[in-house]
């Protein structure tokens, strides 16, 4: 129960890399590598504080997505960018009372920022 928020973030990061099309192989490789770094950083954090659970969402697959043939590359990039931005915003809140390492959070934010920066030019195409 205490790791729900972290696990949801890991799940979002994981799913974001699988949504990329093969033609974006370099970007996909960079995102996957960054995901691994983020995942390792998240696992280094102690238990999730209860107030973090307030920000969780129901990440069930929408019906439209279950019937969709394939994401367009542009749509996948937009969805990934939005998810990363929400995770980034959650992690920029004040977590000083959680006992989380500021250094780990800063490294995690740097990785997320890097992922968003790599997606931004493609999103504008």
Query: Using one digit for the tens of pLDDT, what is the confidence trace for 67-102?
Result: 555 566 677 778 788 888 888 888 887 766 667 788
**pLDDT for 109 beyond 80:** yes
**How many of the other CB atoms lie within 10 Å of CB of 115?**
26
Res 23: pLDDT: 44
Q: Is this model's pTM higher than 0.75 or not?
A: no
3-class DSSP state of 84: helix
Q: Could you tell me the fold of the domain covering 4-51+71-124?
A: Growth Hormone; Chain: A; (1.20.1250)
Instruction: State whether the Cα torsion 84-79-55-48 is positive or negative.
Output: negative
DSSP label of 49 = P
Residue with tokens 């939005």: 82
Taking CA 18 as the corner, what is the angle to CA 13 and CA 21, rounded to the nearest 5 degrees?
A: 130
pLDDT class of 2 with cuts at 50, 70, 90:
very low
Q: How far apart, in whole angstroms, are the C-alpha atoms of residue 78 and residue 101?
A: 30
């Amino acid at each position: 129960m205490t790791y729900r928020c972290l696990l949801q973030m890991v799940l979002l990061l994981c799913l974001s890399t699988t949504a990329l099309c093969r033609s974006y192989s370099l970007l996909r490789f960079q995102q996957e590598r960054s995901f691994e770094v983020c995942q390792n950083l998240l696992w280094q954090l102690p238990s999730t504080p209860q107030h973090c659970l307030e920000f969780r969402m129901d990440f069930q697959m929408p019906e439209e997505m279950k019937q969709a043939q394939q994401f367009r590359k542009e749509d996948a990039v937009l969805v990934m960018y939005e998810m990363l931005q929400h995770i980034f915003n959650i992690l920029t809140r004040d977590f000083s009372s959680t006992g989380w390492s500021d250094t780990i959070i800063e490294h995690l934010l740097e990785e997320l920022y890097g992922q968003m920066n790599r997606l931004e030019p493609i999103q504008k195409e």
